[in-house]
Structure 1
Amino acid sequence: MSQRPHIRFIVNPVSGPKSRVDVAARIQLHLDHARYSHDIVYTTHAGHAPELARQAAQEGCAVVVAVGGDGTVNEVARGLLHSQTALAILPKGSGNGLARHLQIPLKLDAALRLINQGSTMLIDSGNINGHAFFTTAGIGFDAYISSVFAGNRKRGLQTYVELVLKEVRTYKHLPVKVSINGNTIATDCFVMAFANAAQYGNNAYIAPMADIRDGLLDVCLVRQLDIRKALNLSYCMLTKQLAHPGSAEYFKTTDVVIETEEPMMYHADGEYVGKSSAFKVYLEPLSLKVVAPLT
């Protein structure tokens, strides 16, 4: 490997609406080659990116760049947890939740120029039932939508919104028992979101007060949802406000345990994971090094 710090780009070739962009050409044009050496590898299947990222960290790469959407970013980040190798992002997805939270430019050329600056910081990561996440995880309706969205050929914000509007009318809340901050709450649950970062993506803020470096999860609980509450919650998510107390409840914690009477779906960073009737969600403080603007 070169004496210059080495950057490995991990590209998901089918990610996002901008999949026709010639990423290699943009890297060649905008990366500072006097400062960094680099190579490019491509994922071939789901679950490939964590393997590639772990290998890059073991080889001593200074930076590994996730080129893709939120799913690709999650996979690459999982492979870099607790390592000295920094995660950088070239956003090519439809949501770009972590990139938006970290104020990484959404245009590839500008994101590459940020990488050239070499500014890094440590951020927290979350874990739900052994699966790492970096923006949000959740159980209930948002996980259900993730499962439906994953099987849809059409991607993007419009498709996601259409699915939400279609499915919200028939999705039913379920009883859960939540252990949080020394208290146990027996309640109905339409959705429970665990936020490390403030937003899902597309500037939809589920937990506008969330700080990705404070060592705490921001938990948003929606017990039941009717039209009035749905409108209030949607408006607040799009305007970066806390929802009215009657629409949602917020908690800050390091960990939470949930038991359900029947298996519930769950997601991590918008990617459907599966079903479970028991959940342990916790935070790992300052466990991932990232390339981001210094603020």
Structure 2
Amino acid sequence: MNNPAVPLCVPAVTIPPPSRVAVVVNPFARRAHEALASVGAKCRDLGIGAPVTLFTTESEPGAPQARAALDQGADLVVVVGGDGTVREVAKELMGTDVALGILSRGSGNVLAHNLRLTQLDLTRQVDVALTGVVAMIDVGRVELTIADGTVREEIFTTMVGIGRDAEAIEATRYETKRFIGWVAYAAQGAKAALSPALDMKVGLDGAPEVPVTTWTVLIGLTPSTPGGLTVYPDAQLDDGLLHVLRVPITHPWQWVKAARIGLITPRGNTDVLDYDDAREVVVYPKEPQATQLDGDVIADVVELRARIVPGQLQVRVY
């Protein structure tokens, strides 16, 4: 049965059960080995073979493992980890007929939160990952030009942000993230709120770039964060749009209003939150800036180009 709380335009559909399961595991994820054992037990219950297990490393954080899973004939790839591992695996699965299952074991778990998976216990998450219905969700592609002239092409499944939000994420200690999760990001965000706004130019769908002074430019696919903050109130995971938020805050006291809008009345443009929808977005910061992709930070970005890739990722939901 579909979960009506999942923000989808098109209802999820039933597909046949998997015949060959691969599990991509971040070995540092919370309860990773317990999750792996649960997947193995569920495969036995379903009468299918033992899952192929592939562990990520610092130098290979998920994409090579996903490629190996596809090469070995997997028709379902389950991720044990957070948004970073999900993003790496999604690079390889998008555009294929292989579904992604998510066991949310990371520090942020933004995509899993929006899929309403984080409200489930581990046993139920495993059930959904292996036997749930399938939604076709959007993915964002991004091209980042670094100050040294190199260009990186990446994807994102939740949001990309350039400016102070990326600085806050970069400043969050790994140990703190691991033990207190999303609260760690919020704490650093509160500190970064005192930093001044930044000068950038932003262009939407080929229109001329417009100069803005903003704390950050956020380009997202998912409506909300695990901390209860609604970032993009009208976003759906399969609406074919990038949702763009600029935060033209110039005085710290304006954060009180921004927080109230995000938590209580998340609708419409104001003097502290400026929304747009687009299919392509370009951002030119006046100075090189940190950029975060689903929580992974890339430094010294001088140009960001993002575009939507609609309905390219099959994800197991309920």
Asked if Structure 1 and Structure 2 have the same fold, meaning a TM-score greater than 0.5 normalized by the shorter chain, the answer is yes
Aligned counterpart, 1:40 = 53
Distance in 2 separating the partners of 1:89 and 1:4: 15
Distance in 2 separating the partners of 1:200 and 1:208: 11
Q: Secondary structure at the match of 1:72?
A: helix
Cα offset, 1:268, TM superposition: 0.6
1:119 paired to 2:144: no
Cα offset, 1:36, TM superposition: 3.4
1:175 paired to 2:199: yes
Aligned counterpart, 1:78 = 91
Cα offset, 1:95, TM superposition: 1.9
Q: Percent identity?
A: 25
Q: Secondary structure at the match of 1:22?
A: helix
Aligned counterpart, 2:7 = none
Cα offset, 1:208, TM superposition: 1.9
Q: Which has the higher mean CA deviation after the structures are superposed, 73-82 or 231-240?
A: 231-240
Cα offset, 1:48, TM superposition: 3.2
User: For each residue in 1:155-202, what CA deviation from the matched residue of structure 2 results, as whole angstroms up to 9, or x when unmatched?
Assistant: 123322222222321x22221111114243111121111011112443
1:69 paired to 2:93: no
1:90 paired to 2:103: yes
Distance in 2 separating the partners of 1:44 and 1:245: 44
Q: Residue 103 and residue 259 in structure 1: after superposition, are their counterparts in 2 closer, same or farther (change >3 A)?
A: same
Which residue identity is paired with 1:174?
L
Q: How does 1:279-294 map to 2 (within 5 A)?
A: 279-293=304-318
Between Structure 1 and Structure 2, how many residues are aligned? 287
TM-score (norm 2): 0.83
Cα offset, 1:114, TM superposition: 1.1
Gaps of 5+ in 2: 1-16, 144-152
Q: How does 1:1-295 map to 2 (within 5 A)?
A: 5-15=19-29, 18-19=30-31, 22-31=34-43, 33-37=45-49, 38-105=51-118, 106-129=120-143, 130-149=153-172, 151-155=173-177, 156-169=181-194, 171-181=195-205, 182-239=207-264, 241-242=266-267, 245-293=270-318
* Contact 1:175-1:189 within 8 A present in 2 as well: yes
Distance in 2 separating the partners of 1:20 and 1:59: 22
Which structure 1 residue ranges, 4+ long, deviate > 4 Å from structure 2?
none
Which residue identity is paired with 1:24?
L
Q: Residue 253 and residue 65 in structure 1: after superposition, are their counterparts in 2 closer, same or farther (change >3 A)?
A: same
Cα offset, 1:244, TM superposition: 5.7
Which residue identity is paired with 2:156?
F
Which residue identity is paired with 1:172?
P
Q: Residue 230 and residue 45 in structure 1: after superposition, are their counterparts in 2 closer, same or farther (change >3 A)?
A: same
* Contact 2:182-2:226 within 8 A present in 1 as well: no
When the two chains are superposed, the root-mean-square deviation of aligned CA atoms in Å is: 2.2
Q: Residue 113 and residue 20 in structure 1: after superposition, are their counterparts in 2 closer, same or farther (change >3 A)?
A: closer
Cα offset, 1:91, TM superposition: 0.5
User: For each residue in 1:96-130, what CA deviation from the matched residue of structure 2 results, as whole angstroms up to 9, or x when unmatched?
Assistant: 11111122244221111113424112111012212
Gaps of 5+ in 1: none
Distance in 1 separating the partners of 2:162 and 2:307: 14
Q: Secondary structure at the match of 1:146?
A: helix
Q: Residue 225 and residue 32 in structure 1: after superposition, are their counterparts in 2 closer, same or farther (change >3 A)?
A: farther
Higher strand proportion: 1
Q: Residue 180 and residue 20 in structure 1: after superposition, are their counterparts in 2 closer, same or farther (change >3 A)?
A: closer
Distance in 2 separating the partners of 1:205 and 1:57: 35
Distance in 2 separating the partners of 1:141 and 1:4: 42
Distance in 2 separating the partners of 1:21 and 1:235: 40
